[in-house]
Chain A
Amino acid sequence: MTKNDYLAKLMNELKKNAVADASDIVSEYEQHFAFKMADGFSEDEISAKLGDPIEVAAQFERRNDAEPFSGKKATTIVGLVFADIFVGMFFILLFVWEAIMAAFSLVSATIAVSLIGGFNIYALIPPIPYGCGVIFALSLAALAVLASTGCIYFAAFIRQLIRSYGRFHHNAIASASGNAVLPSLAIHPQLPARTNRRIRTVALFSLSIFAACFVLAMVVSMVSSGVFEFWHAWGWFGYDGPLYKGGAL
């Protein structure tokens, strides 16, 4: 078969099969002929090696007939819009939780610094002997580190969740319109093993420091104030304690 015969037959078959961009496809085969002829092959040989144009044309996907899919696609999109609204609210909750954790970490760190540095912004920190304050400050600093580790991990979690949802979204539309579906994504953060290990170490370390220092601070406070409920003795929460009268211990 000559080049022109082959291409004409191919074009004919593609049109018969309602394949999209038939002329684009044929031009690719035309280029194939050009390359092969430059290598010294005859038109007949090239045609034979390409395979029967009827079989070749049958391998191209038919144009997506809009009709059978349009109803399904519309339903899917409406469904997705509702899903988006609910999932969107859910994501807002996740972001709020992230913000709360960040604020918590920041506040803990600020109180720790104030206790150690001896500042008392707007007199918000109740009176406490410096020694006890420092131990409380250490536990709060550890809590700040723990909370910010949580923040980092949670941010990675939200990110992966959004990606995963995006992929689901894409796949739902793709399958409704008859296109290929991509592999779905895991929902837990895909951090490198080393980062995962580090986060775990920091979290465990700060958690134990927090627990140890907090218990120590409570015990030291009780011992130094001489009563179990030391906060009463130091006049916290609006009490006029025996050790505290009018602003000084």
Chain B
Amino acid sequence: MNTQYKKGVLELCVLALLEKRDCYGYEISEYLSNHIDIADGTVYPILRKLKNDGVVSTYLQEESGGPPRKYYSLTKLGREAYKNDRAEYLNFARAVKTLLEDDNHDKE
């Protein structure tokens, strides 16, 4: 699939994860690469972009027996953006699904 296209959707997935709770980078990378076929390295650029956009913020938290982990959390603007983008994406996906399934139907 087109990587540029995937990247936009992945951003939404990251926001969806962070909407539930704060996560550290590795957690997000693991979760996404388990569910979606992407290279592990793709998630960090997305996180950085979201941070530059002011949609997520980071904080460090000490973990027992290890270096402090960098946690990502949604900002207020991030929540707002997530709400908008989610509705937009779901509408879009629904429309595409209807269109594609309709096409299949005709061929049968």
Contacts and interface: CB of A to CB of B under 8 A. Distances in A.
Contact of B84 (A28, A50, A180, A183): A183
Main secondary structure of the interface of A (DSSP, over half): helix
A50 B40 CA distance: 4
B18 to A, nearest CB: 16
B77 A182 contact: yes
Interface string B33-72: 1000001111011101100111100000000001101100
Contacts of A31: 25-26, 67, 69-70
Interface string A48-88: 01110101100111000000000000000000000000000
A53 B39 CA distance: 11
Interface residues of B, number: 27
B67 A49 contact: no
B25 A56 contact: no
Interface string A24-36: 0100110110110
A182 B84 CA distance: 10
B4 to A, nearest CB: 10
A25 B44 CA distance: 8
Contact of B45 (A35, A56, A182): A56
A179 interface: yes
Contacts of A61: 45, 48-49, 52
Contacts of B52: 61, 179-180
A49 B40 contact: yes
Contacts of A180: 52-55
24 contacts: A25-B48, A28-B25, A28-B70, A29-B44, A31-B67, A32-B29, A32-B40, A32-B44, A34-B66, A34-B67, A35-B26, A49-B33, A49-B39, A53-B41, A55-B39, A55-B41, A56-B45, A59-B7, A59-B41, A59-B46, A60-B45, A61-B48, A180-B55, A183-B84
Interface of A: 25, 28-29, 31-32, 34-35, 46, 49-51, 53, 55-56, 59-61, 179-180, 182-183
